[in-house]
Amino acid sequence: MQHTADGLARFRDTLHACEAAPGRFVIANYYMAAVIGRGDYGHFSPVGAYDAARDRILILDVYRVELEPYWVPAERLFEGMATINRADGEPRGYLTVRLPAS
C-alpha cells in the first residue's frame, strides 16, 4: 500500500461506506510508532468509528493492558499502514470485513 492522495481518498471512502452499512468494519494493520509515537512493531486493531468532520478515526486497540481506545488523524493512520513489515518485506494495510446477513 503506497501513500498517495488517491489511496488516502479511497481509504476515507471505505471508512464512510463502513459507517453507513451495518455489519461492515475495517481492521487496520499499522506500524505503532508511526501512529502513536512508540512501539517498534506492527499491530492489528479494528476501527470503531470515523469522524469525517474532524477526519479522525477511533481505534479500538486490542492490547487493552496498556492502551484504551484512542482517536488518531486519518492521514496518520494511513501513513502507519503504508509501511513495510521488516520480517517479510510485505506491505501493511487494511481489511474490510462484512458480516453475513442473518
Q: In a structure prediction context, what are the per-residue pLDDT tens digits for the chain, which is 102 residues long? A: 555 779 999 999 999 999 999 899 999 999 999 998 888 888 999 999 999 999 999 999 887 777 789 999 999 999 999 998 888 888 899 999 999 887
Percentages (nearest 5) of helix, strand, coil residues in the chain: 30, 35, 40
Q: Which CATH class for the 5-98 domain? A: alpha beta
Nearest Cα to Cα of residue 57 among 15, 93, 13: 15
In the three-class reduction of DSSP (H, G, I as helix; E, B as strand; rest coil), residue 1 is classed as coil
What gap in Å lies between CA 85 and CA 76, rounded to an integer?
17
> Which pLDDT value is given to residue 31?
92
Domain locations in the chain as residue ranges = 5-98
In the three-class reduction of DSSP (H, G, I as helix; E, B as strand; rest coil), residue 30 is classed as strand
> Which pLDDT value is given to residue 2?
54
